[in-house]
Amino acid sequence: MTISVGEKIPSFNLKAVAGKPFKDITIDNVFIDVTDKSYPGKWLVMFFYPKDFTFVCPTEIAEFARLNGEFQDRDAQLLTGSTDGEFCHWAWRKHQDELRDLPFPMLADNKHELTAALGILDKNAGVAQRAVFIIDPQGIVRFSMVTDLKVGRNPKEVLRVLDALQSDELCPCNWSKGEETIDLQEATAA
């Protein structure tokens, strides 16, 4: 069962490929440790994909990377990951042009501990499901979504949901940042 909204993100400590421009990566800084405590005070947007060296996954990762500055403007840290190991992630980044300068870490859950704890380990394929979680600065899951392994996500929708969560208001369907929210007192008085 997938972790539910309102629950605390499980503790984790994973190896990752550092999120930085390819030219700045050396053998001494390519691999880092990332834990559930690595980004104190920040919102986390964690998105998982099935496998490295596949076809849908790089399109999503590249689009999240393109929007990275907008997530950073909202005090959110992007993290991506799969059940592949850190060496596989590094090989993929080196050979996939749109991933070479990835600005956020790629988590390696090769022991399947985090994906199992989140409830997103696909029982048939043995890989991470295509899932995204928005976690508030207190470590509480505020949004989760899991799609079929074949269906890519819309990173702009994830950004829109983050905006809605950070507004701390009642947000109607298709609400976007800057639009009117629902005034509960006004709505109940009508």
What would the pLDDT profile of 15-67 be if each residue is shown by its tens digit? 999 999 888 988 899 999 999 999 999 999 999 999 999 887 788 999 999 99
What would the mean pLDDT of 128-137 be, rounded to a whole number?
A: 97
Q: Report pLDDT for 162.
A: 97
Catalytic residues: 57
pTM, rounded to two decimals: 0.92
Q: What CATH number is given for 13-153 in this structure?
A: 3.40.30.10
Annotated domain spans of the chain: 13-153
The lowest-confidence range among 47-51, 63-67, 96-100, 119-123 is 96-100
Q: Which residue from 108, 102, 101 is spatially nearest to 33, judged by alpha carbons?
A: 108
174 contacts 164 by C-beta, under 8 angstroms: no
What would the mean pLDDT of 82-105 be, rounded to a whole number?
A: 93
Edge-to-edge, what's the strand order for the sheet holding 43-48? 31-35, 13-17, 106-108, 76-82, 43-48, 130-135, 141-147
